[in-house]
Amino acid sequence: MGLASLQVARLLGSRVTFAAPPYQLAGLHRPPSNDVPLGTVVIGKGDVTIAVLAELTAMVHQWPWVVPCLVVPANHEPITPLLMLVTELRDRLVLVGHGSSAASDELQRVLTSVKQRSLPTPGGMAAWIAARVGRSDLEAHLGLQFREALHGVRASTATSVSTFSRVFARHGPYTAHDWRALARLCGHASAHFQCSTRFLSLRTASHYAKRYLAVPYRVMAERLGWEWILEAALRAGSYI
Instruction: Report d(CA 51, CA 219) in Å as an integer.
Output: 34
pLDDT, one tens digit per residue, over 6-29 is 444 454 456 888 999 988 765 555
Select from 138, 143, 136 the least CA-distant residue to 180: 143
DSSP state of 75: S
Select from 134, 136, 239, 222 the least CA-distant residue to 182: 239
- Rounded to the nearest 5 degrees, what angle is found at the Cα of 128, between the Cα atoms of 117 and 194? 20
Strand duo 28-29 + 67-71: pairing: unpaired
Strand duo 41-45 + 15-19: pairing: antiparallel
Select from 153, 143, 149 the least CA-distant residue to 198: 149
Instruction: Report d(CA 213, CA 115) in Å as an integer.
Output: 20
Whether the Cβ atoms of residue 95 and residue 173 lie closer than 8 Å to each other: no
Which are the contacts of 88, defined by CB distance < 8 A and separation ≥ 6? 57, 60, 61
Which are the contacts of 32, defined by CB distance < 8 A and separation ≥ 6? none
Whether the Cβ atoms of residue 73 and residue 100 lie closer than 8 Å to each other: no
Q: pTM score, two decimals?
A: 0.87
Instruction: Report d(CA 140, CA 122) in Å as an integer.
Output: 10
What ranges do the domains of the chain cover? 3-115, 122-236
**pLDDT tens, the chain, 240 aa long:** 444 444 444 544 568 889 999 887 655 556 656 678 999 999 998 877 788 888 899 899 999 999 999 988 776 666 666 655 666 787 899 988 876 666 668 888 999 999 999 999 999 999 999 999 999 999 999 999 999 999 999 998 888 999 999 999 999 999 999 999 999 999 999 987 665 556 799 999 999 999 999 999 999 999 999 999 999 999 999 999
